[in-house]
Amino acid sequence: MKNYYFKIILYLFILNIANTSFAKENVATKESPNRFTLTNGYFESSSNSNEGMAYFPMSVYETYDWIFRKLSLDTYGIGRFLSLLTTGIFQYYYFNTTYIDVPFHEFGHATRYRSYGINNITYYVDDNHSDPANSFFEMVIKRANYPNQGASTQGFLPNPNPTALNTYSLISTAGGMNNEILLSKLIAERIYDRGGSVPDFFFYLKDRLSPYDYVNLNPTEVTGGDPQKIESKYSNMGKNITRTNMSDGYLFSLVASGSFYSMIFGDLKYLWNGDQNVKTLEFFGISLPDFYQYINSKGLSMESVIHFRATKNLNFGFSYEAIYLGDNYNQFTPDFRYNWDIGSGFFTNFIIKPQMIIGYGNSNTDLGGSILTELEGKYLGLFLKYTNYNTNTLYGERNIPLITQPNEILGGIFSNLL
């Protein structure tokens, strides 16, 4: 069964290669590159890679962008308006919720369960928790029968002691909403690195607002939902953190983020002149900051991210994440990205992006980091990423595949959609 779902993804990948092999470059306006990626991170049970699995929803987003470029009515203003309105409604109220946002939310629960060595995971793909799925990809496919419905994930945590169980349970419960915020961040980072397209705004907005909407649901309408569980588990830890606090943080992090306004500006520009390329707004090479709220065992954190474009090939990034409600903890993440032009052969560019993660709290320093390399050609590319997770850091807690194995190697191939 698992091979069946992987074959479906492989078929989509080959189809994208066939399409791009005969594509012509748009000489009027250089298109922002979109990719479809295959990676070992898709082997859910063996890799349990949260960051690896994120390549799939991002591939779907970018393939959608590519299709929109081919089908949108861009010649006249009324055509652009109808194209934008139609895709916005379709993405926000059906496509993202049904196939991407909710399934990746549920995967966020599952991957945190597995990080503690729990493998008996069951997804339920519908509101009534009656239709099970044994894998993320099976859940995605079955969701076609349950448009816009909720879903759930079941796993059984170890019970070393009540305190540890409460912590494990909070991390697993928070994994869903944290994964939705992760997707929004990946969209913003991709737009900064490679550029974006008109539909990105609606994917980004849905991923941002889904956690906000969830914590604002009336508890009488959703009994035992994630926000109520998280609030209760924080209370068990002696932390006075409420759903109102979560709601305020989610709303602030959206309206204060530069990428939110970059995408709005990009879509308005499209309505004005038909240019579908979306770029991050920058002033003197410095991007407007982005903000992201996460739920952690240490408390609620706010991450701020900023970039500096030194040259067209070199940029620097820096993020600072701090617990603002809960324990005292700070995390610093510097990185840089360099793109070498290596000639006119099959591979034309070599990209490297090292990143260091430094966490500090209770007089202890926690270190981790990663290095990403990419070889990119016109149609195909390869990537390899090594990550050293530290489960004591905020980043590590949310993404480590297994708490007893801090090292991860991701690799794969991607097709550029031209």
Record the tokens describing residue 71, joined without a space: 């089908």
**CA distance linking residue 166 with residue 294, whole number of Å:** 18
Record the tokens describing residue 361, joined without a space: 């709290």
User: For residue 27, what pLDDT band results from cuts at 50, 70 and 90?
Assistant: very low
pLDDT digits (tens, 9 = 90+) for 152-207: 999 887 767 778 889 999 999 999 999 999 999 999 999 999 999 999 999 999 99
Q: Helix 77-90 crosses helix 55-71 at what angle (to 10 degrees)?
A: 150
Task: Return the H-helix or E-strand segment holding 21.
Answer: helix 2-21
- 3-state class (DSSP) for residue 326: strand
Percent of the chain with pLDDT strictly greater than 90: 82
Buried b / exposed e along 206-224 (16+ C-beta atoms within 10 A):
bbbbbbbebbeeeeeeeee
Q: Is 135 exposed, middle or buried (0-12, 13-18, 19+ CB in 10 A)?
A: buried
Strand-pair category, 299-309 with 330-341: unpaired
pLDDT digits (tens, 9 = 90+) for 300-354: 999 999 999 999 999 999 999 999 999 999 999 999 999 999 887 889 999 999 9
Higher-confidence residue of 25 and 117: namely: 117
What is the side-by-side order of every strand in the sheet holding 132-133? 132-133, 122-124, 152-154
Handedness of CA 183, 189, 193, 197 (dihedral sign): positive
**CA distance linking residue 368 with residue 375, whole number of Å:** 24
- In terms of Cα–Cα distance, which of 408, 342, 344, 403 is closest to 375? 342
User: Residue 123's beta-bridge partner residues?
Assistant: 133, 153
Record the tokens describing residue 147, joined without a space: 């448009």
- For the chain, the domains span 2-417
